[in-house]
Amino acid sequence: MTSPRITLAAWNMHAKKKFGQNFLNDPSVPELIAERAKIEESDLVVEIGPGLGALTVPLSKRASRVCAIEKDTQILPVLRSELLASGADNVEILNEDILNVSLTEMAEAHGEPIIVVGNLPYNISSQILVQMIRERRWVKKALFMFQKELAERITAPEGTRNFGRMAAMLGYCSKIRTLVRVDSSKFFPRPKVDSEVIEVTFLTDPPHVAEDEDLLFAVIKAAFGKRRKNLRNALSNSELPLSPAEAEEVLTRAGIAVNRRAESLTVEEFVQLSNALVAYLVESSNS
């Protein structure tokens, strides 16, 4: 693995902040990530933001095929050169924005669920996670590297201060664990904070089933959208079709006190709340 500082200088390039580019400069880190991912020979791995290919190469040695999705057009020649030099001939490079890519279509073409890996930019990490959740039927698992602060929010337990929208959504349909902690010194340019690699394994059958998942996620979004407000006010000041009185009625039906706040709810209670809302909306439409 060539130093990213040297590689970028040779191509007269710089890391781009708008793409959140911080390149791994210690070969032991991507090797460790690829090893702990437990990739099988038949797997298709979709890598988001391969950059200079530091993780792409060890992934390619374990998987049947790697599809590397890179939005930065200028870095593509460098990536191709690095992959060629390493002999990674089972890597397909797709110059695209991951948010415009159908993971379901890729998995269906492959014939089985895929593994998704990536060092996610802070500004679109939530959007990518939501995309994963919605397409999770075709995603065997996902391994994402986040800045430590964001990783702690995503993995926050119920009832804690950091518990938020993404933790609730992932808590509904997956099991999460921290795979690797990566010191900031392992990147170039060096970021201000350390990072963590999170493994998300999606559940075939959630322990608490929502009657309408889209509505569940809308309720979670509304509740945390104004997290300093109590639930009655948060739900009635959102995109949900609820007045304060209606929000209070639905909360009462779900057995949840109206003055509680979003972070105090468990995933099970969010499911109860969304199911109560489903019943209330049905009744309202029939009356």
* Cα–Cα distance measured from residue 268 to residue 271, given in angstroms and rounded to the nearest whole number: 5
**β-bridge pairing 187-188 and 23-24:** antiparallel
Q: What is the mean pLDDT of the chain?
A: 95
Strand residues in 148-286 grouped as ranges (E): 174-182, 187-188, 195-202
Supply the pTM of this predicted model.
Answer: 0.92
Between strands 44-48 and 114-119, the pairing is: parallel
Fold of the domain built from segment(s) 4-202: Rossmann fold (3.40.50)
Give pLDDT tens digits for 223-276.
999 888 999 999 999 999 999 999 999 999 999 999 999 999 999 999 999 999
Residue 38, Ramachandran bin (φ over 0: left; ψ between -120 and 50: alpha; else beta) = left
The fourth-level CATH superfamily of domain 213-286 is: rRNA adenine dimethylase, C-terminal domain (1.10.8.100)
Q: What is the pLDDT of residue 200?
A: 97
Q: For the chain, which residues make up each domain, given as ranges?
A: 4-202, 213-286
CB atoms under 10 Å from CB of 31, counted, come to 16
Beta bridge partners of 202: 174
Q: Are strands 187-188 and 174-182 parallel, antiparallel or unpaired?
A: unpaired
Tell me the C-alpha distance between 254 and 270, whole Å: 9
Q: What is the pLDDT of residues 44-70, one digit of tens each?
A: 999 999 999 999 999 999 999 999 999
Give residue 19's pLDDT band: very low, low, confident or very high (50, 70, 90): confident
Element (H, E) at 58: helix 56-60
Residue 2 has a pLDDT of 78
Q: How does pLDDT run across 94-136, given as a tens digit for each residue?
A: 999 999 999 999 999 999 999 999 998 888 899 999 999 999 9
**C-beta atoms surrounding 83 within 10 Å:** 22
Q: State residue 227's pLDDT score.
A: 83
d(CA 52, CA 99) in angstroms, rounded, equals 21
